[in-house]
Amino acid sequence: MAALRAALGTARKLSIPAVNRTDRNFRVTMIPGDGVGPELMHVVKEVFKAAEVPVQFDEHHVSEVQNLASKERLEQLLTSMRTNRVAIKGKIYAPMENKGELSSYEMKLRKKLDLFANVVHVRSLPGFPTRHHNLDLVIIREQTEGEYSSLEHESVPGVIECLKIITREKSRRIAKFAFDYATKNGRSKVTAVHKANIMKLGDGLFLQCCAEMANLYPNIEYQSVIIDNCCMQLVSDPHQFDVLVMPNLYGNIIDNLAAGLVGGAGVVPGESFSSEIAVFETGARHPFSQAMGRNIANPTAMLLSAANMLKHLNLDLHSSQVSDAVRKVIKEGKVRTTDMGGYSTSAEFTAAVIANLGT
């Protein structure tokens, strides 16, 4: 069954037996993370309680900056995620100091669970004006190799070598995922983002795999663009893009750039998939530590991610309740957090969402 799901490109929904259900509730692993993550997870729990969502959370507090990153904690978290098959998480901050461990906690989770596909749906929010209007594009990122392989060493004093890993197997897998996603969601074009003009072997292999996969999907338009030109085109004319697929580092950059086009890190949801597990998180991964405890974080991205999680669980009614309430609050424009040009607190935004559930 796992092989079949992988071959089908990991559809948006797993079948009901693929998730963990206790009595009448779905069990979901919750990872609050660092910064404002715990506050945003509290918002999710409050909204779910008000909407009577049949989800029971299995919370795991892990952090590299709070000495909560032991191997035992990691194994407990991995066991929970493998059992429940669905998780919602905040950002786990990765310190820049080298303490002898090059691989961050986030990277360990992705590799051990093979969370190879990150999907960020960048869409304009009605009622919240930005420079570009009516944006609707999807960024798909391979996130288990590339520059984030944690293969660095000092060859001679003062000289650091970092290895970028690109494999045919994983490049074809993410390319197929992108074309399957486009087909399933009625998208018309896939754009491969690369730097094959300079990294002729590594990015050249990725680009070749995307082109080969495109031949199997004649109804989907295919094109490629160099990463630096892609950034310029996104800023100047983002409407030309539909689905973009790219290696790890480029995806990390483009996710954040594109989030800025529609309002910033606080408004864009994201999700990651293996062949068996789905993880829902914010699209632009920032702990926003400077806002911690100040009641100013924007819950929009996390609530929309939570709504996507409910849709994944086939709880379509509850998913629509949550997402519609969030979008109604934003469209009315009376309650907005500071990052959206308003003066409301996180608690006030949450209360407004709860008040609009089912309306």
pLDDT in tens, 266-321: 999 999 999 999 999 999 877 677 778 899 999 999 999 999 999 999 999 999 99
What pLDDT, on a 0 to 100 scale, did the predictor assign at position 359? 73
CATH of 1-116+296-359, one of 3.30.420.130, 3.40.718.10, 3.30.420.10, 3.30.1360.200: 3.40.718.10
Domain residue ranges in the chain: 1-116+296-359, 131-261
pLDDT band at 177 (very low <50, low <70, confident <90, very high): very high
**pLDDT class for 10, splitting at 50, 70, 90?**
very low
Asked if pLDDT for residue 23 goes beyond 70, the answer is: no
* The domains spanning 1-116+296-359 and 131-261 adopt the same CATH topology: yes
CA distance 95 to 136: 33
Per-residue HEC secondary structure of 119-155 comes to EEEEECCCCCCCCCCCCEEEEEEECCCECCCCCEEEE
pLDDT on residue 3: 40
Task: For domain 131-261, give the fold.
Answer: Isopropylmalate Dehydrogenase (3.40.718)
* pLDDT for position 19: 62
Q: Above 60 in pLDDT, residue 8?
A: no
| pLDDT tens digits for range 203-213 | 999 999 999 99
Is the predicted pLDDT of residue 9 greater than 60, yes or no? no
Q: Which one has a higher pLDDT value, 226 or 287?
A: 226
R_g of the chain, CA atoms, integer Å: 20
Least confident stretch, 61-75, 192-206, 229-243, 309-323:
61-75
Query: Which of the four pLDDT bands, split at 50, 70 and 90, describes residue 14?
Result: very low
Under the banding of pLDDT at 50, 70 and 90, the label for residue 42 is: very high
Token couple for 266: 């606080």
Three-state helix/strand/coil letters over the chain: CHHHHHHCCCCCCCCHHHCCEECCEEEEEEECCCCCHHHHHHHHHHHHHHCCCCEEEEECCCECCCCECCHHHHHHHHHHHHHHCEEEECCCCCCCCCCCCCCCHHHHHHHHHCCCEEEEEEECCCCCCCCCCCCEEEEEEECCCECCCCCEEEEECCEEEECCECCHHHHHHHHHHHHHHHHHCCCCEEEEEECCCCCCCHHHHHHHHHHHHHCCCCCCEEEEEEHHHHHHHHHHCHHHCCEEEECHHHHHHHHHHHHHHCCCCCCCEEEEECCCCEEEEECCCCCCHHHCCCCCCCCHHHHHHHHHHHHHCCCHHHHHHHHHHHHHHHHHCCCCEHHHCCCECHHHHHHHHHHCCCC
How far is the C-alpha of 310 from the C-alpha of 19, rounded, in Å?
12
Report which residue type is found at 120: V
Q: Residue 148 has what pLDDT?
A: 84
Dihedral angle sign, alpha carbons of residues 351, 353, 354, 359: positive
- When mean pLDDT is compared over 73-77, 318-322, 355-359, the highest value belongs to 318-322
